[in-house]
Structure 1
Amino acid sequence: MNFRRGHHRDEPEINLIPLIDVLLVILIFLMVTTTYQHYAEMQVNLPLGQGDVVKEKPRAVQVGIAADGRMTVNGHPLAAGDDKGLLDALRQVQADSEVVISADGKATHQSVVSVMEAARTAGLTRLTFATQAPRS
């Protein structure tokens, strides 16, 4: 027997608004705490050189390269970009000499390649790059 006529029982509803609020708070929390890394530049860590002490030093020609491109050959200065003067200076060296390239860390790659090319053209096949020993 139904003594309550016309009175319908309400169906239970699941209210989604609090669930959406909680999810938005979690999303905002994750967005704020997440770190984004931007790889705008490539960092290169060059290795440090360490070697044995040579007892007998071969004949060597020291080629220094400054950060602005100026060069020295055995202490004699050359102008920046003077490839002909560099080639002439390396041709005066004996053929069995070793070319030691001491380039500044900020020297351009092109200036180092120019020294290597001039040494090859002058007939010098033994090249060495000077490095700095690690600091203790």
Structure 2
Amino acid sequence: MSLAHRQRRKRPELNLVPLIDVLVMLIFFAFVTMQFKSASTLNITLPKVETAGKNEFRGNVTIAIAKDGALSFNGKDVTDAQLIEALKAVKNIDKDTPVLIRMDEKGTLDRLTFVWDACRKVGLTKHSLQSR
């Protein structure tokens, strides 16, 4: 090969601009289609606790108490009797399952004590109250 022939040969290039454009569109699409779980299922405003640490709940049982006293078990509305039956079923699977209780800051203490008492009656003793 001659010297002139070597100089005409171009190095292959990878055009990164279209790849970056596609990546940005994929990230944008992921954020638009992502569903966020929040306390808005029962329109609950969690009470603020100054001394609370981070809420690092790792269990799979969540009981929500709305300001009007309505209960929800893992996102599904339940009655008092249905809650007790659901807690019994959880205890039969694993008695060490932690229970997270989320109560609206305007909720009544009697509903909270009912949920705590229901957990203890069926044998679930690892329960915590979520705050913000």
The answer to whether TM tops 0.5 is yes
Gaps of 5+ in 1: 1-44
Contact 1:59–1:96 at 8 Å: present in 2 too?
no
> What is aligned with 2:85?
88
- Greater gyration radius: 1
Secondary structure of 1:92's partner? helix
Mapped partners of 1:72, 1:49: distance in 2: 26
Instruction: Give TM-score, length-normalised by structure 2.
Output: 0.56
Write out the 4+ residue segments of structure 1 that deviate beyond 3 Å after TM superposition: none
Identity of aligned residues (%): 30
Gaps of 5+ in 2: 1-46
Q: Which has the higher contact order (CA 8 A, sep 6+)?
A: 2
Contact 1:69–1:111 at 8 Å: present in 2 too?
yes
Q: Supply the RMSD in Å over aligned alpha carbons.
A: 2.2
* CA positional deviation for 1:121: 1.0
Instruction: Give TM-score, length-normalised by structure 1.
Output: 0.54
Mapped partners of 1:74, 1:86: distance in 2: 10
Contact 1:66–1:107 at 8 Å: present in 2 too?
yes
Amino acid at match of 2:77: P
- Does 2:100 correspond to 1:100? yes
Match of 1:51 among 50, 53, 61: 53
Q: Report how many aligned residue pairs link the two structures.
A: 83
